[in-house]
Amino acid sequence: MELRDKLTAGLKAAMREKDAVRLGTLRLINAAIKDQDIALRTQNKTVGDPEITAILAKMVKQRHESARAYEEAGRLELAQQEQDEIKVIEEFLPRQLSEEQVEAAIDGAISETGATSLRDMGRVMGVLKSRHPGQMDFGKAGPMVKARLA
């Protein structure tokens, strides 16, 4: 089942269950996907699973940042709302890689690209992003790659 179909099924289930948080979050996801569809329409392309995964990962990152800002401002109810949305979005993301799996993926990307110095970091990160979209936090993977290449 494609990711778009899973999102649609989740949206219908949320409507039936009258789950307001889940319904609102899934509608936001569908709106972001539709925006991307419209942007790609001129190129006669549609949004596939990799693009949807990237959209979901971006939404999770945005909500983490918002939740942190709300907590710093003492707005705990809004921070909790962001955390609830994160849980819904993460249901549709691929399983996150463990620390060991991330390290193995980095080692594999370094050996595949033949990277030897920090100048090769972009190529390594490109390989990782193409192979593991939504499966690892690239903000944390970047320093790990940098440490290996230094």
Q: Which domains does the chain have, with CATH numbers?
A: 3-90 (1.10.1510.10), 99-149 (1.10.10.410)
Mean pLDDT score across all residues of the chain: 88
Question: Beta-strand (E) ranges in the chain?
Answer: none
In a 13 Å sphere around the CA of 84, the CA atoms on its Cβ side amount to 14
With a CB cutoff of 8 Å and minimum separation 6, the contacts of 58 are none
- Identify the band that residue 1 occupies on the pLDDT scale cut at 50, 70 and 90: low
Q: Helix H segments across 73-116?
A: 76-90, 99-113
- Judged against a pLDDT cut of 90, whether residue 54 lies above it is answered with no
Cα gap 136→139, rounded to integer Å = 9
Q: What is the pTM of this model?
A: 0.73
The residue with tokens 């940042």 is: 65
Burial of 62 (0-12, 13-18, 19+ CB in 10 A): middle
